[in-house]
Chains A and B, each alone.
Chain A
Amino acid sequence: MESIARLLQLIPKYSELPEFLRALIPVVVSCVVVFALLALAVLFLVWMERKVSAHIQDRLGPMYVGGWHGWAQTLADALKLLLKEDIVPASVDRTLFKMAPFIVFLGAFAAYVVLPFGATSFVADLNIGILYIVAVGSLSVIGIIMAGWASNNKYSLYGGMRAAAQIISYEIPSAMAIMTVIIPVGSLSMVDIVNAQKGGIQNWFILRNPFTFLGFIVYFIASLAEVNRTPFDIPEAESELVAGYHTEYSGMRFAFFFLAEYANMFLVAGVATTLFLGGWTQVIPGSFIAPQLLPGPIVFFLKALLIIFVQMWLRWSLPRLRVDQLMYLSWKVLLPISFVLVLGVGCLAVYW
């Protein structure tokens, strides 16, 4: 936001505007920029998901729209969704039904505020950054339950309940895995966490010590469950629940659920990148070709894409877990492991 505010200073007569406008405009502009980038990223991710899934299943996926390997397919699908009729079924709770997709999306979108895409490109550097992400991420549960309840449909309700149970259970191991990074850094700020990992691949937390490496694995699994992706997609299990909590949605509102799903996916990948893969820092610093081989945001996106690729790869190689298996994994496997990890990292921090 600071860099955007500095850019806005270049506009003539900007400093003559009233005080509250000068405070407000950078906020709005940075929100629009993040939203536009996010929408682009989601369009790309949906295309990538379709391509990866197709090639894993020995298919080709979209090939025609746009020319080169169907790159415009998701653009066409998004336009189609925008043009579709906005159906609100007769027996739904209208207010909740209409609000739910936007709350789900809000939960995903608000967390992007503290995600550092580059050394200077972030909206805000909160001193409680990662805690804020964990807290705001839970907002989407409310939206999902609202959608499930308001739809007045048993499958939607089942989906909403399952989503709530799942997301709340997996918040604990994921927060504990985040702790393994917070303890050595000693700060909750995302920028401080990235700065602690400067200086190449050996300083990344994924390779610092075995505890943070396992912490990364635990966070990765828990984050998969938090964004409701296969193998943890029981909230929208197609073969059991039609489409889960968004069964009754169509058109624009469905598009918002879809957007939120992929925005969440990118968010957890971004958080994993920031915490464990060094964020926007270079893989090899001071490379002999150029001191800064690639700009920070591009490095960040590449690392996040790598994690998203693994998410997709997992999705298309594993079947869905049963509800009891899901809870077993969370409470009996990931939670004890993450406690041990936090203990280990704490011991290292004290005695090393």
Chain B
Amino acid sequence: MLNYFRDIGLGIVTVLKSMGVAWRHLFTPSVTLQYPTQKWTMPERSRSKLFNKIEDCIGCGQCARVCPTNCITIQTEKRGKEEPEIFASDGTAIKLRTYVYDIDMTLCCYCALCTFGCPTHCLFMTGEYEYAVYDKVCHIYPFATEKQMISKTPKQQPAEKA
């Protein structure tokens, strides 16, 4: 009989306790982030969309060589002797004209190895992570701005000699 009343008392006390916890949480600020309008600030070293600052790129091709998935396509040619000398922002002379610099973000595995090897630090990860597109083709990002020099005379092909 005593146990019966003790159980009832215990039940009432525990219910009130849990209601107290719920009441406290009713007024604690919510942890929800209203996503499309509010966003996280991404960590400094987060890996996301790649960006190449093409003015600083010397066209060395180290990024393409180190890439495990071959997502970087780079084509260069030598700049003409008569053209004015240009330099990257850290002082390295740019001797190659990079006329193709495409990154296929569908292939990228976000290892960031390319950014570590870049001698002029012109290739880096931006904080941007929302770049979904409707067509895979749109995920190939071209960075090269200069066109291939068409005035340059092509070399004689060895095949034609024979």
List A residues at the B interface (Cβ < 8 Å). Answer: 52, 54-60, 63, 313-314, 316-318, 332-333
**Interface residue from B19, B28, B29 paired with A314 (Cβ < 8 Å):** B19
Q: Are B28 and A58 in contact (CB under 8 A)?
A: yes
Whether A63 contacts B18 in the complex (CB less than 8 A), given A57-B25, A313-B23, A333-B8, comes out as no
Q: Are B26 and A56 in contact (CB under 8 A)?
A: yes
B45-83 contacts to A, CB under 8 A, are none
**Interface residue from B22, B27, B32 paired with A60 (Cβ < 8 Å):** B32
Q: Mind listing 26 A-B residue pairs with CB under 8 Å? A: A52-B26, A55-B26, A55-B27, A56-B22, A56-B26, A57-B25, A58-B25, A58-B29, A58-B30, A58-B31, A58-B32, A59-B31, A59-B32, A60-B30, A60-B34, A313-B23, A313-B26, A314-B15, A314-B19, A317-B18, A317-B19, A317-B22, A318-B15, A318-B18, A332-B4, A333-B8
Could you tell me the distance in whole angstroms from the C-beta of B16 to the nearest C-beta in chain A? 10
A318 to B30, CA, bound (A): 20
Instruction: Digitize B109-149: 1 where CB-to-A-CB distance is under 8 Å, 0 elsewhere.
Output: 00000000000000000000000000000000000000000
Q: Which of A54, A58, A317, A318 has the most CB of B within 10 A?
A: A317
Determine chain B's interface SS by DSSP, over half rule.
helix
Say yes or no: is B2 at the interface (Cβ < 8 Å to chain A): no
Instruction: Digitize B83-103: 1 where CB-to-A-CB distance is under 8 Å, 0 elsewhere.
Output: 000000000000000000000
A55 to B18, CA, bound (A): 15
Q: List chain A residues, Cβ under 8 A from B22.
A: 56, 313, 316-317
Q: Are B30 and A59 in contact (CB under 8 A)?
A: yes
Q: List chain A residues, Cβ under 8 A from B19.
A: 313-314, 317
Q: List chain A residues, Cβ under 8 A from B27.
A: 55
Could you tell me the distance in whole angstroms from the C-beta of B8 to the nearest C-beta in chain A? 6
Q: List chain A residues, Cβ under 8 A from B30.
A: 54-55, 58-60
Residue of A nearest to B21 (CB): A317
Residue of B nearest to A312 (CB): B22
Q: List chain B residues, Cβ under 8 A from A316.
A: 22
